[in-house]
Structure 1
Amino acid sequence: MSITFYKYQGTGNDFIMIDNREGAFPHEISHIAKLCNRRTGIGADGLILIENHDTLDFDMIYFNADGSQSLCGNGSRCAVRFAKQLGLIENETRFQTIDGEYYATIDQDIVHLKMKDQMEPARHEDHYFLNNGSPHHIVFVEKAESAPVVKQGSTIRYSDQYKPDGTNVNFVEILNQHEIFVRTYERGVEDETLSCGTGITACSLAAADKGLMSPIDVQAKGGKLQVKFERTPGGFTNIWLIGPALRVFDGHINI
């Protein structure tokens, strides 16, 4: 079977996008892993299907590169950009994800994704933890550039405290009162990615506990994002993940 695909990226976090409103693409892990493989397939951090929804603009079905599922912030932003390309939306949208309904607006290539309200990240002796649709272990470091992201990240990801499902692992450097640098080891990709939207959001909320104020500019290896939020007693509301979502190329492939 030949399928048409589109490749999108949000600050280096890249995704295969498929218009699956007719249901032709099967939800099979073997197909997803094959297409996401960077040596034998198209290559991507994840695969996204745009499908019909009874009441919302569309249903975003997200798969990590290994076929597992979770909420993906950058993937959601790219899905919004793709939905506009398909003519499903104009400048705002409400759509379905594995984590429920989400709202977003789009201005040219910049997508503003409204995240769900969150409690304060759990503070531990040497790290923070927050699950905002995807689980995130957060470590603050002096120099993120030299952090052992893959080695230490994989160790934490598979540690007993996070069994059986594991966690994403983020290394955060505070640059100033409004800016951080984040590197992330992503489960499901099993490697460092150039950017992680839910991770960047979680890290920004953890940074607020250290005195940083909204909006927080976030430098990832793949580019810059911004996180806006309002503090509430015990948590955060009106959280926005803001950044570019760009079409890279499209084509056809047999599966």
Structure 2
Amino acid sequence: MNTVFYKYQGTGNDFVMIDDREKTFPVSKELIASLCHRRFGIGADGLILLQNETGYDFRMVYFNADGGEGSMCGNGGRCVVRFAHDLGLFTEKTTFIAVDGLHEATVSEDIIRLKMSSVRDVQKLDEHDFMNTGSPHYVTYVEHIEEVDVVSIGSGIRYGSVYGPKGGVNVNFVEVKDQNQLSVRTYERGVEDETFSCGTGVTACALSAHLREGWESPIHVKTIGGALEVAFQEKQPGEFDDVYLIGPAVRVFEGNLNLPE
């Protein structure tokens, strides 16, 4: 079966996109992992199926690079919005469904403004913060972020005794650079490596900085792959609504796959 695929990236977080509105893509963990492999496949941090959804512009179905279906991916959400826009499914504003529920987004030239899930139950602990921004995130503050061994330390926390039995956690290392400006590096579960950027992780770090530093919205975040912005409203202490992840998303290339029937 011949299938067209598209490669998109948002601040270096890259994804294979499939227009699966006819639901013909043969989903399997092994196939998706092979397509995401950076030596023997297309190479990506994940794969996203765009499917029809009654009452909305589309449904986003996200798979991690290991082939397993994942929790919400913020940069993937921005990229699938760009993909849907390129397909002509909407002009400026869209609503779609993902694993964590309803999302809204707008497109303005290169910038995608994606509404994330509301955030509740933030755990502000002595050495780190924990919250779920569509995916679970561990946030810890460091100095000299460029020297941090993200993979070694991150994997230790992800598989450790606290979070490992609960399915693991994404681990974010944050350095305060200036007022309302952060630098972030993230170890992502499912990819099991550091990625150039993690949208739900950036969101968690911005909300954490608001709680710890008292910064107001918006907060600017630098990742290896580029700059993002997080806007939000704190309705009650530690409860966030109208959370937006803002930044670029672009098509890189497209091609054809011969897939099993």
TM tier relative to shorter chain: over 0.9
Please provide the CA RMSD for this pair: 1.0
CA distance in 1: counterparts of 2:14 and 2:146, whole angstroms: 21
**Alpha-carbon deviation of 1:144?**
1.4
Structure 2 counterpart of 1:149, which letter?
V
Q: 2:181 aligns with which of 179, 182, 204?
A: 179
Secondary structure in structure 2 of the residue aligned to 1:77: helix
Per the alignment, in what secondary structure is the counterpart of residue 101 of structure 1?
Answer: strand
8 Å CA contact 1:177–1:213 kept in 2: the answer is no
Deviation by residue 1:223-252 (Cα, 9 ceiling, x = unmatched): 000001122222222211000000000001
Other-structure match for 1:212: 215
Amino acid of the structure 2 residue aligned with 1:31: L
Tell me how many residue pairs correspond in the alignment: 255
Structure 1 residue 83 corresponds to structure 2 residue 84 = yes
Q: Structure 2, unaligned stretches of length 5 or more?
A: none
- Give the alignment's TM-score, normalised by structure 1: 0.98
* Aligned-residue identity in percent: 54
Task: State which drifts further: 220-229 or 232-241.
Answer: 232-241
Corresponding position: 1:250 with 2:242? no
Please say if residues 120 and 205 of structure 1, whose CA atoms lie closer than 8 Å, have aligned partners that are also in contact. Answer: no
Q: Which has the higher mean CA deviation after the structures are superposed, 229-238 or 91-100?
A: 229-238
2:184 and 2:145 map into 1 onto residues whose CA distance is 7
Secondary structure of the corresponding residue to residue 214 of structure 1: coil
Q: 2:227 maps to what in 1?
A: 224
Q: Separation in 2 of the partners of 1:99 and 1:120?
A: 16
Q: Normalising by the residue count of structure 2, what TM-score does the alignment of the two structures yield?
A: 0.95
Deviation at 1:213, TM superposition (A): 2.0
Deviation per CA, 1:188-223: give whole Å up to 9, x if none.
000000000000000100000122221111000000
Query: Aligned to 1:79, what secondary structure does the other structure show?
Result: helix
Deviation at 1:120, TM superposition (A): 5.7
- Map 1:17-28 onto structure 2 (within 5 A): 17-28=17-28
Deviation at 1:148, TM superposition (A): 1.4
